[in-house]
Amino acid sequence: MPEYELLYWPVSGLAEPIRLCFLVAGIPFKDTTPMTDPQFNDRKMELHPYAPHAAGLPLLVTDGKVCCQSRAILRYVGRIAQYEGAFLYPTEPLEQLECDELIDLSEDLRRPMSATVTTQYKDQAEKEAARLALMAPDGECTKFLKVLDKKFGESFPTKLTIGNIYAWSIVTMFRQPTFIPEIPAGALAPYENLSKLHQWMSTLPAIKAYYESAQGRDNYKPI
């Protein structure tokens, strides 16, 4: 079996769906962060194919070959990772389409909030107001939480895929405690089907065991 190393920050973020795919499939990998490697930043720049022009994470190192782009990595891992005898990225084209749709919908939810991390605001109060506006009844994030809840209500998963792993991981960033303090406590409470998804995903044996010891991931534990 190839040796896999995933480089990312010590948070959930864009690497978490990839970590979960490795975990549920029982594929060993090295989860490298600045917390586990004192030379992390130097190694990142040495390894990164886009450096010095760009150095975004995550990176996946497979037997020395380095690849970038989180969702490309996710699809690759989904093609090699199996759960209960089925690949996490299905081989049937329509099922692949359904996975990709969930991933893109989850990105529609994530991007507006993610933009508040990099946007230059005049002060902290302006940043907080921008984040609260996204979670308002007519906010951009609220809109896509409603869409995802409706989507899972119409067709709840019967097997694990990179699509529902990605959706759950991104949605859970909106569940307190999270690294974005302005997200209201109970922000996900109105969404019955997203709560059902959380209970299903968080109680899968490999995932439950991982979050029992993972630091800073209490929002991923069963409710």
Q: What is the pLDDT of residue 53?
A: 96
The C-alpha atoms of residue 166 and residue 103 are separated, in whole angstroms, by 6
| Residue 215, pLDDT score | 85
Confidence (pLDDT) at 138: 96
| pLDDT computed for residue 216 by the predictor | 86
Using DSSP's 3-state secondary structure scheme, residue 161 falls into coil
Q: Which pLDDT does position 16 carry in this prediction?
A: 97
Segment 161-183, tens digit of pLDDT: 999 999 999 999 999 999 899 99
DSSP structural state of residue 82: E
Contact by Cβ (8 Å): 96, 87: no
Residues 6+ apart with CB under 8 A from 215: 10
Q: Which residues pair with 30 in a beta bridge?
A: 5
Q: What is the pLDDT along the chain (223 residues), one digit of tens a residue?
A: 899 999 999 999 999 999 999 999 999 999 999 999 999 999 999 999 999 999 999 999 999 999 999 999 999 999 999 999 999 999 999 999 999 999 999 999 999 999 998 888 989 999 999 999 999 999 999 999 999 999 999 999 999 999 999 999 999 999 999 989 999 999 999 999 999 999 999 999 999 999 998 888 999 999 8
Judge contact between 17 and 165, C-beta under 8 A: yes
User: How many other CB atoms are found less than 10 A from the CB of residue 22?
Assistant: 19
Give the DSSP letter of residue 3: -
- In the prediction, which pLDDT does 36 show? 96
Q: Cα 203–168–19 angle (5° rounding)?
A: 80
Say what the pTM is: 0.96
Per-residue pLDDT at 1: 82
Q: What is the DSSP string of 105-123?
A: HHHHHHHHHHHHHHS--SS
Q: Which two tokens stand for residue 123?
A: 């002060």
Three-state SS for 37? coil
Ordered structural domains, the chain, with CATH: 4-85 (3.40.30.10), 90-204 (1.20.1050.10)
**CA distance linking residue 182 with residue 174, whole number of Å:** 10
Closest to 187 (Cα-Cα) out of 102, 113, 107, 125? 113
Q: What span, in angstroms and rounded, lies between the C-alpha atoms of 201 and 198?
A: 5
